[in-house]
Chain A
Amino acid sequence: MISLERVTVSAGNFVLRDISLTIPSGGYGVLMGKTGCGKTTILESILGLRPIHSGRILLEDRDVSQLAPALRGIGYVPQDGALFSRMTVRQQLGFALVIRHIQETVIRARVEELAEMLGITHLLDRIPRGLSGGERQRVALGRALSFIPRVLCLDEPLSALDSETRQQMCELLLKIRRHTGVTTLHVTHNLDEAEQLAAPLFRLAEGHIEQVEPTAR
């Protein structure tokens, strides 16, 4: 479960007040809103990258409001993937596990498994330079899922892709959801994407979040 309870957070010169939002465990929440309305700010506060002024953030019933990002256990895929340019795909997929001092053989197996699920086995020994947009996002997804997080945050993961790749990625995201049951918050400004994936769908406008009921879409 991802739950924001009356969270107030500011970024630069604007403030989001008393934001509340709940995504049930295993749910795939999509947060829609125009560029610049504060979607990323909300994501950053969930990730712990931006301190909140008041309110609480709960992940699976654990209050993480004051925890460091490293301790929150959230898989994070930013907009352009933000791949580590000096690491091979294999190293990126294993990175979170190396940090956790997991046994090497376990890491290798996990990386293979992830690569297979994401269809990037043939890319494992490449560095990010030269990968296509879709490939980069697959790697970023794999990196975020590698340590089996219970929560996944996606910040406009498909916005840089052409429509065909976007469709493939949507299917991949649905597959991941079926496979892992990870509770997801997906931020986007694309309505098609939102309608295809969302359960539930939220809309952020003028500093307020409202849940959009399926019938009202």
Chain B
Amino acid sequence: MAISDRLFLTAMASIGGVYVLLIAGMLAADVAYMTRQSVSAAADQTGWLAVITHSPIVDALHDPKIRYSIRLSLVSCSLSALLSVFVAIPLGYLMSRGRFPGRNLLDAFLDIPIVLPPLVVGLSLLILFQFPPFSWFAPAIVYQVPAVILAQFSVACAFSVRTMKGTFDQIDPRCEQVARSLGCSRFQAFSMVVFPEADRGIITALTLAWARSLGEFGPLLIFAGSTRMKTEVLSTSVFLEMNVGNLEAAVAVSLIMVAGAILVLILTRKLGSPLYEQGPLNRGGAGFPSRGGRA
């Protein structure tokens, strides 16, 4: 290889590598900090078991407040993820297949929750619930558990819609057209042909929405509050523990979330669509040309 080529690749690798190191460093630091605290807490005892039982993570898992927050996180993230995908499937389908005036505008509009500062999302939700008909339900929602789910859903759904639109974009519309020529109604073509082909995309959308919801914090703080044993989810726990100066517990809860996020990441990679890994899916099979233009 020519020296200039080698230099080029080395430069690319070094610049990219900095970011990879940053991610690895952050995670490693969390783990190292936790290990150090565990070891010092178990100072008078030796052996791995003692270190583990004295770990702040174990303490956190014993804390009823943290337990509540783990439970609420699991429930609210799952509900908001399911809700997101339920909405994202029809919306993504229409955005992918539909040709209507204002489509590009709507496409950009759907990105608003993604680009909006999270605090603004929360504040806007709070303000929205001052107006009827939303205000009628405000006592049951604002600063209550439903607010947690709604705040998570508001942002997570935008990601699901993106994913589902991308999924439907990659399913050949000709398949549906063939199905319709074979005797299917639009609904039958969708449910029997398109939907099964979208399965991996749906799993990706579901896990993305779940992970997004797990990390949601800004909108939650404003719209759902941070009441312990009520609207406290894991991200709120980190914030509350930090506020009372309990760095150990904050890191412990963070590591619980890291474990959850990594699990979701693995799940997405294993089951989900390779949407984010490679270019368009070549569903046509090896060496088959992609569909031509529709003249």
Contacts and interface: CB of A to CB of B under 8 A. Distances in A.
Interface of A: 11, 35-41, 44, 47-49, 68-70, 72, 74-76, 78-80, 82-86, 95-96, 99-100, 128-131, 133, 136, 140, 143-144, 146-147, 153, 156, 160
Contacts of B188: 99
Contacts of B47: none
A76 B295 contact: no
Contact of B177 (A82, A85, A133, A146): A82
A161 to B, nearest CB: 10
A83 to B, nearest CB: 8
Interface stretch (B26-34, B204-212, B224-232, B283-291): B283-291
30 contacts: A11-B295, A35-B293, A35-B295, A37-B295, A40-B295, A47-B177, A49-B180, A69-B181, A74-B181, A76-B177, A76-B181, A76-B182, A79-B291, A82-B172, A82-B177, A82-B291, A84-B179, A84-B197, A86-B196, A86-B199, A129-B285, A133-B287, A136-B285, A136-B288, A140-B178, A143-B178, A144-B181, A146-B182, A156-B292, A160-B289
B184 interface: yes
A70 B295 contact: no
Nearest to A95: B182
Interface in B154-198: 172, 174-175, 177-185, 188, 192-193, 196-197
A131 to B, nearest CB: 7
Contacts, number: 105
Contact of B178 (A36, A41, A78, A133): A78
9 interchain residue pairs of minimum CB distance: A82-B174, A76-B181, A96-B182, A69-B180, A99-B183, A78-B174, A36-B295, A86-B196, A82-B175
A143 B291 CA distance: 19
B294 interface: yes
Nearest to B195: A86
Given A49-B180, A84-B197, A130-B285, A35 B292 contact: yes
Contact of B294 (A11, A72, A128, A144): A11
Contacts of A95: 179, 182, 192
Question: How big is chain B's contact interface, by range?
Answer: 20 to 34
B131 to A, nearest CB: 41
Given A35-B292, A36-B295, A80-B289, A86 B184 contact: no
Given A80-B289, A99-B184, A85 B197 contact: yes
Given A84-B179, A136-B288, 16 more contacts: A11-B294, A36-B295, A68-B185, A69-B181, A70-B181, A78-B178, A80-B292, A84-B175, A84-B196, A86-B197, A95-B182, A96-B183, A128-B285, A136-B285, A143-B182, A160-B289
Nearest to A83: B175
Best-buried of B177, B178, B285, B288 by chain A (most CB within 10 Å): B178
A11 B199 CA distance: 31
Contacts of A80: 172, 174, 284, 288-292
Which of B185, B290, B291, B292 gathers most chain A CB within 10 Å?
Answer: B292
A47 B289 contact: no
Nearest to B181: A76
A36 B292 CA distance: 10
B292 A38 contact: no
Given A79-B292, A85-B197, A96-B183, A69 B177 contact: yes
A130 B282 CA distance: 12
Interface in B248-295: 283-295
A160 B288 contact: yes
A70 B197 contact: no
Contacts of A68: 180, 185
A75 B174 contact: no
Contacts of A72: 181
A40 B294 contact: yes
Nearest to B199: A86
Given A70-B184, A80-B289, A85 B283 contact: yes
A40 B179 CA distance: 17
Most A CB within 10 A of own CB, among B199, B287, B288: B288
Nearest to A140: B178
Contacts of A49: 177, 180-181
A16 to B, nearest CB: 11
Contacts of A140: 178
Given A35-B292, A41-B295, A130 B178 contact: no
